A and B are shown apart, each in its own frame.
Chain A
Amino acid sequence: MTDRPSILVPIRVLEGESIPEGVPDLLANGHVVLLGYHVIPEQTATGQAQMQFEDRATERLDEYQAMFEEAGATVERRLVFTHDGQKTIDRMTTEHDCLAALVPNATGSVEDVLVAVRGTVGVDRIAHVVAGLFGMTDASVTLYHVAEPDETDEDVGTLLDGIVNRLKDLGMDASRIETRVERDQAAFDAIVDAADAFDVVVMGESDPSLATFVFGMPADQVADRFLGPVLVVQREPSEGTE
């Protein structure tokens, strides 16, 4: 599998957000969709911000693009002025068919990757991201699953073995893949606790259930508490949106 996974890197380009150390190397094997965006209040026309800030934003993005390209990634970029950052990020994800979005935090050289697996949904996309980004590196990958009370060991085994096989199909060395299963713990806390020992976290985008609606998406919460970068694997684009 040689195609590079498309990874969205959203940066609030005019608010001092920049590309943290280590991130270009992290995505060296990926296809980076670099999104510089600027959110403006509703009483301002988006064009007004563009008129004033386009040059400054373009300059910064030039710099960032060079950083990624130097590290070896292929880069595509957009500069968007918007009233609604989330809408822009969602649209970019769909338009560029991004497998994952990066919550950029600084990292050193990547040696350990934590991959949080929730269920069978989205497993294929997770595998593509992991194999694409880390397949050619020396990083070790840990598949991590917090089992539900009614889940048998057998179920968990099938799930994780499936992913291991998938990764092997995609060219990864099986010796670098570990699996870990946790029980009797809330999934969210377990992931955050476990993440501390790793350089990068890969996790799926949660379903927009009531809990995530109220408390925010767990992926974002993990990103808030975990100091390193988090790759949020996006849900399959729903049918009929193309």
Chain B
Amino acid sequence: MTEQPADAEPTGKNIAGEAPVAEPEAVTDDTTVHDDDVELERTIGLVGGLAIGIGTMIGAGIFVFPGLAAANAGLAATLSFAIGGLIALLVALPTSELATAMPRSGGGYYFISRGMGTAYGAIVGLGLWLGLMFASAFYLVGLGHYASAVFAELGIGLPFSPVIGIGLLFGAALTALSIGGTENTAKIQNVVVGILLVVLTGFLSYGVLDAVGVFGSGTVPEQFFSRGYFPVLTTAALVFTSYLGFAQVATVAGEIKQPGRNLPLAMVGSVLIVTVFYVVTIFVATSAFGAERLGQFGETAMVEVARDFLGLPGAVAILGAGLLATFSSANASILSASRAVYALSRDALLPRKASEINLRYGTPHVALLAAGGPILALVATGQVELLAEVASFLHLIMYGLMCVALIVLRRRSPEWYAPSYRVPGYPVVPAVGALASFGLIAFMQPASIGIGIVVMLVSYLWYRYYAGNVTLKGDV
């Protein structure tokens, strides 16, 4: 069993007189140890970690984006997804190193606040919390589209579009469900992800064989860059939301068994797995219909692709999978958002009351409601692309800063910084990861960037007002 020293003590008090909770004394494979023999058991294994990562990512990328992406970039959307995957990988590697050095709840927020100071931490932490809300809202709108398609499939004509209504309904239901304390949420997530991967593997194998001509129809008709080169990058910026899941693994880093081994494997592994699935999916989808028609199908284009290949059963299977996937993504994001609130209130950046647990169910009802309410408001806007981009923006800022934090920590090399996994190709990999993360932002819509900047500004002002005296940065 390995034991490693924990980080330096945070100091200071916020406006309500609350000080950050003391850091643990040591971290082992099975526990986080605090003084007086108080331990926090680590109970999530590698499979659980992978399920969180893959489960969060796979919903958006495969089920909501193919139509939108193909409309923007044509067949080259495959390249957009590959670029997104590459950037995710460049960030996942440094994140892994940071996570093995600091396997604590809070993920990116935690690493940045300890590496670069409270102000950066506050911006990222509050930004992450809000970013997760935008992401959840995006998933829920996607879920609404899939549920509407189910109605259409059943031949039930509705006089209005039920997309937003269904999104709101599921948003409220998920919040209630997580407050009510469903047992075995992690096990359900594992099973959902397993089913998804099986359905997709079958579907994609068939699709690839069809696309390359084994079954005769043989259609890879298009010119690759049918929309030019620039849209490849803007599309990469749009679809990057598909890759937001790997960092969610780090938000539960405090509960992962053998963190030194399982955290890097879960993060890097889930990025690699979903990248392959995404790229193949877009390839199959665009070869089936051509970008033009695929784009017209919008958010549920995958259903039409499945119908084209396998008829009604295919469409039904993909509808079901799409519902499951968007549901699990939204669920995972809401839970991560409440973990973010916990990390912030532990460090006195939010009132301690925010992470209070309700005695009856043992769940953090304040944090869950604080996430659930705004999510519903965001869902009501119904702006799929805007929601996705704002979520991406806020996460990309965090990813970029994590890479910077890694470089800062390596250079200062404080005593407590002893990662068991070290990123290969230092300093090139984290530097490129940071540049790529910040660079991708440039290709977003101005509206998304504007909203993102406002969120960051508000976060900073909140920190100055509420917790200006709190110091979280570890000493040298």
Interface residues of A (CB under 8 A from B): 40-54, 58, 77-84, 87-88, 91
- Chain B residue numbers with a CB within 8 Å of A83 are 41, 43-44, 255
20 A-B pairs, CB-CB below 8 angstroms? A42-B183, A42-B184, A43-B181, A43-B182, A45-B254, A47-B104, A47-B254, A48-B346, A50-B34, A51-B352, A51-B355, A58-B36, A58-B38, A79-B37, A79-B39, A80-B31, A80-B39, A80-B40, A81-B41, A91-B41
Q: A41-B183, A47-B254, A51-B346 in contact; A82/B362 too (CB < 8 A)?
A: no
Q: A50-B38, A80-B41 in contact; A45/B362 too (CB < 8 A)?
A: no
Interchain CB contact under 8 A, A87 and B362:
no
Interface string of B179-209 (1 = CB under 8 A from A): 0011111100000000000000000000000
Distance in Å from the Cβ of B372 to the closest Cβ of chain A? 12
Q: Once bound together, how far apart are the Cα atoms of A79 and B444, in whole Å? A: 49
Q: Does B32 have its Cβ within 8 Å of any Cβ on chain A?
A: yes
- Chain A residue numbers with a CB within 8 Å of B27 are none
Q: Once bound together, how far apart are the Cα atoms of A42 and B34, in whole Å? A: 21
Contact pick for A42, options B40, B41, B186, B254, CB 8 Å: B186
Q: A41-B181, A45-B254 in contact; A87/B361 too (CB < 8 A)?
A: no
Distance in Å from the Cβ of A41 to the closest Cβ of chain B? 5
Q: Once bound together, how far apart are the Cα atoms of A233 and B41, in whole Å? A: 24
Within 8 A of A (CB), among B219-267: 252, 254-255
Interchain CB contact under 8 A, A77 and B255:
no
Interchain CB contact under 8 A, A42 and B185:
yes
Q: Does B339 have its Cβ within 8 Å of any Cβ on chain A?
A: yes
For the residues of B in contact with A, the DSSP-based class is mixed
A-B contact count (CB 8 A): 99
Distance in Å from the Cβ of B375 to the closest Cβ of chain A? 15
Q: Does B113 have its Cβ within 8 Å of any Cβ on chain A?
A: no
Starting from the known contacts A43-B368, A46-B32, 7 additional A-B residue pairs (CB-CB under 8 Å) come to A43-B335, A45-B342, A49-B357, A54-B38, A78-B37, A83-B41, A88-B41
Q: Once bound together, how far apart are the Cα atoms of A125 and B339, in whole Å? A: 44
- Chain B residue numbers with a CB within 8 Å of A42 are 183-186
- Chain A residue numbers with a CB within 8 Å of B352 are 51
Q: Does B364 have its Cβ within 8 Å of any Cβ on chain A?
A: yes
Q: Once bound together, how far apart are the Cα atoms of A212 and B185, in whole Å? A: 25
- Chain B residue numbers with a CB within 8 Å of A49 are 357, 362
Q: Does B80 have its Cβ within 8 Å of any Cβ on chain A?
A: no
- Chain A residue numbers with a CB within 8 Å of B420 are none
Distance in Å from the Cβ of B41 to the closest Cβ of chain A? 3
Q: Once bound together, how far apart are the Cα atoms of A78 and B185, in whole Å? A: 27
The 7 closest A-B pairs by CB, nearest first: A82-B41, A46-B40, A83-B43, A84-B43, A80-B39, A79-B38, A41-B181
Interchain CB contact under 8 A, A46 and B41:
yes
Q: Once bound together, how far apart are the Cα atoms of A88 and B42, in whole Å? A: 9
- Chain A residue numbers with a CB within 8 Å of B342 are 45, 47-48
Q: Does B304 have its Cβ within 8 Å of any Cβ on chain A?
A: no
Contact pick for A52, options B37, B40, B254, B357, CB 8 Å: B357
- Chain B residue numbers with a CB within 8 Å of A50 are 34, 38, 40
Interchain CB contact under 8 A, B43 and A48:
no
Q: Does B210 have its Cβ within 8 Å of any Cβ on chain A?
A: no
Within 8 A of A (CB), among B366-393: 368
